[in-house]
Amino acid sequence: MVEHPSPFGQDEKEVSLAPHAGFFEVPFMILTILSAVGSVAFAVSGALVAMEEDYDIFGILVLGFITAFAGGMIRNLIVGLPVAAVWHQTGSFLAALVALGITLVIPGRWVKRGWKLMVYFDALGLSTFAVEGALYAERIHVSVGTVMVAAAMTGTGGGVIRDLLAQRKPMILRSDTYAIWTLLAGTVIGLRWVNPQVAWQVYAVLAGTFALRVLSILFNWRLPHVESPNADKAKTVDE
C-alpha cells in the first residue's frame, strides 16, 4: 500500500490537533483549554435542545456530541488538517461526556428554561471555537479572509448542525448578530492585533467575543431586515 505524504510533511496518521514543532506557535495548553471549554459548552447546548424536543437519552447524547465536535471537523476541512484528527481530542471527549452526564440528571425545572440556558452555553461555545478556529488558520499563514471564514465556520458549525437536526431554523440565519462576532474575532487574530503566544491576550479575545454575543442577546441587537414585498398582502389575508 502506497502512503501519501500529508501537506504537513509527515504521515497523515500521525497528525493530531496538537501543535507540531516548527509549525504551530500557539501554546498547546491554550488550544487544549479552548477545545475543552468549547466542547463542553456546545455539548450542553445540544443536550438542552434535545431535551426540549423530547429526545430519549440516546438522542440527547448523539445531538450533544455532534454539536460539540461538528465545528472542529469543518475547521479541519477549511485549514487542511485531517478530519480524523478530531478524534484525538481525548480530553475534550471526556469533558463533553461528563458535561452531558451532569445535564441528564439536572432538575426538570432547569430543563423548562432550556432555551435561555442554551443560548448562553451556545454563546460560550461560539466564542471559544471561533477563537480556536482562527488560531489554527492563522498559524498556517493564510489570508485574513480565510482566518475569518475558519473562525466563523468553527464557531457556528456545531450550532447550525444542531438546529438542523432538531428541525429548527439555525440561529445564524435569523436576523441577529450571531455570526458577526466570530468574524470579528477572526479579524482581530488574522490581523495579529493580539499575540497568539500570550495566553491572556487570547483569552481576552474570547471574553470579548462572548461578552458581545451575550449583549446582543440581552439587548436584542439585530442586523437590518429586508421586508418581504408580499408582507402587506399576507397581513391583509390574515386580517
Report pLDDT digits (tens) over 101-114.
988 887 666 666 66
pLDDT of residue 110: 65
Residue 182's closest CA among 142, 143, 233, 216?
216
Flag whether 239 is in a domain.
Answer: no
Q: Could you report how far apart the first and last alpha carbons of the chain are, in Å?
A: 70
Q: For residue 21, count other CB atoms closer than 10 A to its CB.
A: 6
Which residue blocks in 53-113 are alpha helix, DSSP H?
57-79, 90-104, 108-112
Average pLDDT of the chain to the nearest whole number: 81
Could you give the CA distance from residue 132 to residue 124 in angstroms, rounded to a whole number?
12
Quote the cell numbers at residue 229.
414585498
Q: How many domains does the chain have?
A: 1
Torsion angle in degrees (nearest 10) through CA of 68, 29, 130, 91: 0
Q: How far is CA 164 from CA 10, 126, 160, in A?
A: 36, 16, 6
**153 found inside a domain:** yes
Residue 95 lies in a domain: yes
* In the block, residue with C-alpha cell 479579524: 187
**231: in domain:** no
Q: How far is CA 77 from the centre of its chain?
A: 14
Is 232 domain-assigned?
no
Query: What pLDDT is stored for residue 141 in this prediction?
Result: 83
Question: What is the pLDDT, as a whole number, of residue 162?
Answer: 93
* Model pTM score: 0.78
**For residue 204, what are the domain limits?**
12-222
Residue at 1 is within a domain:
no
User: What is the pLDDT confidence band of residue 177, given thresholds at 50, 70 and 90?
Assistant: confident
Question: Is residue 4 in some structural domain?
Answer: no
- Domain annotation covers residue 38: yes
Instruction: Average the pLDDT over 74-101 and give the result.
Output: 85
Cell 483569552 belongs to residue: 203
